[in-house]
Chain A
Amino acid sequence: MYRYDAIDRAVLADRTAEFRDQVRRRLAGELTEDQFKPLRLMNGLYLQLHAYMLRVAVPYGSLNPVQMRALADIARRFDRGYGHFTTRTNIQFNWVKLDDAPDILDALAAVDLHAIQTSGNCIRNVTADPYAGAAADELEDPRVWCEAIRQWSSLHPEFSFLPRKFKIAVTASPHDRTAAKVHDIGLLLRRGRDGETGFEVIVGGGMGRTPYVGPTIRAYLPSDRLFSYLEAILRVYNRHGRRDNIYKARIKILVAALGAEAFAREVEAEWEKIGPEGDLPRAEIDRIGAAFTNPDFVADPASGDFEARRAAEPAFARFVRNNLKAHIRPGYGIVDISLKGIGETPGDISADQMDLVADLAERFGQGDIRSTHEQNLVLPHVRLEHVHEVWKALDAAGLATPNINLISDIIACPGLDYCALANARAICVAQDIARRFETPERAEAIGEFKIKISGCINACGHHHVGHIGILGVDKKGEEFYQLTLGGSGAEDAAVGKMLGPALPIDRVTDAVEAIVDAYLRERREGERFLDTLRRTGDAPFKEAVYAEAH
């Protein structure tokens, strides 16, 4: 994992001291709310319905145990003993007091964390494959590039006041676990014909009120030219992106307006001007890369009684089937920790649970913890012989729900329970659906099924790319929910299609169940829900949901 140097630390210390003074001036009345709000947002501090919320950046979803314990400590001292992992792979604290915020930032800085660029029209935290450095199907570790992007984009003077927020995803696996195609820029690492690595560059994807799957503007960019190319894209966006209308300010609108080809031509022309001078020297990439080589792997470690226990203990076998993924090294596995306990709030984790995850990462996971955009955690490097012990410990703490990628592994934004922008709640809808499909046998029989819920059109809960997307709308002051079908945030990215009229809150879970039942009737051997839907179209599902209403 990358470690901060003295300069990074000095920057953070300065920034926290500056914010402490800004808070003092606000409380003393020297700053008005209009003056102060942009300053607090630059430090990740939002005002929600019940309290301030602090959004802490988890750089490309990577945490070490010391950082996780610091988050637990903050949860205990300054919040109500818990935190909330989000679809941006960040963590939010929901009950923060303004006068505590500077102390929290100090506590974060002590472990190389901060809340800078978690809000505002700048380059936000990079999304990485949560299995980076571990996935069996990966070309090389994308975190090296993520860290380089983090350093390049942090406090970047030219790109701190873009037309709108800007999100970049990097993945090096054919299976996309980052939702790269609905980011402002998606970088897919590829091997070129010359055997070197490069990126397929996707620009202009996004969600919000105008969702787009981003087009590819360059099929192959040699990786050593990445930074000049990123600079060219951002410069074109900075120059031509709309600043007159907040709803049309994202790069996706510019790319769609110009057309991908014309946009690409603009970028290439700008790129030409910048030239290789805008690139990071190889030596610097190598320096960063050195932080990600993990020396602690054992060649071909024994798997102990892993297989025997798996055969003997059905509950463990179920956990292994759903929450253990193939590792690039023999004898290791990737353990998914579900933050989707049945009836719990998706993404929520208590301070005690955070401490446990930190301990397990330290004892069994080479000190490496990841957060995923699906609001779960990952221990990417666990020896198979330790998986049973890890499972036991997780299970005792309520963290071993065997539902990764299943119907109860639901993304939900904070919605009207917390968010000042919400139209409707999202969390309770997720909880109700998860309870309906609580039986693990049933969930496994249904198979991969992604439900994603947002409390308003901003789409923080990724509803556009849910197999079933659920969007909260306000109908004359009542909570209604608009269902979409057929979205995907993976390599087969697609924006879901609206199914029909919005439903009242008490009909949503029934509608989901009707869709599931129709799928089970219609599906052919080996089909996921998405495959069946793509084959049949939405008629059987429309019928199933709306038939009784006629």
Chain B
Amino acid sequence: MKALTANRLSDGEVVFWKDGTWVERLSEAQVFSDEAGAGEAEASARTQRTVVIDPYLIDLVDSAGFWAPVSYRERIRALGPTNHELHGKQAEGGGAVEALRQAHGAARSSGRVNLIRRK
């Protein structure tokens, strides 16, 4: 499973793709089960140059009934810094945040590695 992420141009906020627009919570993001759909969304996202910076796909795993990024880096992006629990998205708490905190996947952020390769 994959989601599409980027940083919003206007404020740098981490955002996730949902049917052509961007949402701040991973729990509301569109989840892709097929490569083709994900790739199409990524291509379309890349044309939104005044909305987001550097969109890329991330891999997801199931964690307590929620989708969580496999990569640790992406979990921190989806939560906020671990040294300030009230900063970033994690501040609102709840099941989705807890599920991200508990997630255990370990892998490099493959989408980001591809992004670096493209540059």
Binding site for B on A (CB under 8 A): 26-29, 32-33, 47-52, 80, 94-99, 345, 416-418, 422, 425, 427-428, 431, 474, 476-479
Contact = CB atoms under 8 A, between A and B. Distances in A.
A27 B12 CA distance: 13
Given A476-B106, A478-B106, A32 B49 contact: yes
A32 B54 CA distance: 12
Given A50-B13, A51-B13, A97-B12, A479 B108 contact: no
23 contacts: A27-B9, A29-B49, A47-B7, A49-B73, A50-B77, A51-B13, A80-B84, A94-B81, A97-B10, A97-B11, A97-B12, A98-B12, A99-B10, A345-B83, A345-B84, A416-B73, A416-B76, A417-B81, A417-B82, A427-B83, A428-B82, A428-B83, A477-B71
Given A33-B53, A476-B106, A478-B72, A27 B10 contact: yes
Interface string B91-105: 000000000000001
Nearest to B110: A477
Interface string B31-75: 000000000000000000110011000000000000000111100
A477 B14 CA distance: 20
A416 B72 contact: yes
Given A98-B10, A98-B11, A476-B106, A418 B72 contact: no
Contacts of B72: 416, 477-479
Chain A to chain B: the 5 pairs with minimum beta-carbon distance, closest first: A417-B81, A51-B12, A477-B107, A97-B11, A477-B106
A96 B8 CA distance: 12
B36 to A, nearest CB: 26
Contacts of B54: 33
A94 B82 CA distance: 14
A477 B112 CA distance: 12
Contacts of A416: 72-73, 76
Contact of A50 (B9, B53, B80, B108): B80
A428 B72 CA distance: 15
Given A29-B49, A95-B87, A478-B106, A49 B77 contact: yes
B111 interface: no
Nearest to B109: A477
Main secondary structure of the interface of A (DSSP, over half): mixed
A3 B54 CA distance: 41
A476 B107 CA distance: 5
B107 A49 contact: no
Contacts of B107: 476-477
**SS of B interface (majority):** loop
A28 B50 contact: yes
A209 to B, nearest CB: 16
Contacts of A478: 72, 106
A32 to B, nearest CB: 6
A360 B72 CA distance: 42
B14 A50 contact: yes
Contacts of A47: 7, 12, 53
Contacts of A28: 50
Contacts of B83: 345, 417, 427-428, 431
A99 B13 CA distance: 13
Contacts of B13: 50-51
A50 B81 contact: yes
A514 to B, nearest CB: 25
B7 to A, nearest CB: 6
B116 to A, nearest CB: 10
B28 to A, nearest CB: 18
A99 B73 CA distance: 26
Q: Which of A98, A345, A428, A477 has the most CB of B within 10 A?
A: A477
Contacts of A417: 76, 81-83
Nearest to A28: B50
B82 to A, nearest CB: 6
Given A32-B49, A33-B53, A417-B83, A99 B11 contact: yes
A425 B82 contact: yes
A478 B9 CA distance: 29
A101 to B, nearest CB: 10
Contacts of B50: 26-29
Contacts of B84: 80, 345
Given A96-B12, A345-B83, 20 more contacts: A26-B50, A27-B9, A27-B10, A27-B50, A28-B50, A29-B49, A32-B49, A33-B53, A49-B73, A50-B13, A50-B80, A50-B81, A98-B10, A98-B11, A417-B76, A425-B82, A427-B83, A477-B108, A478-B72, A479-B72
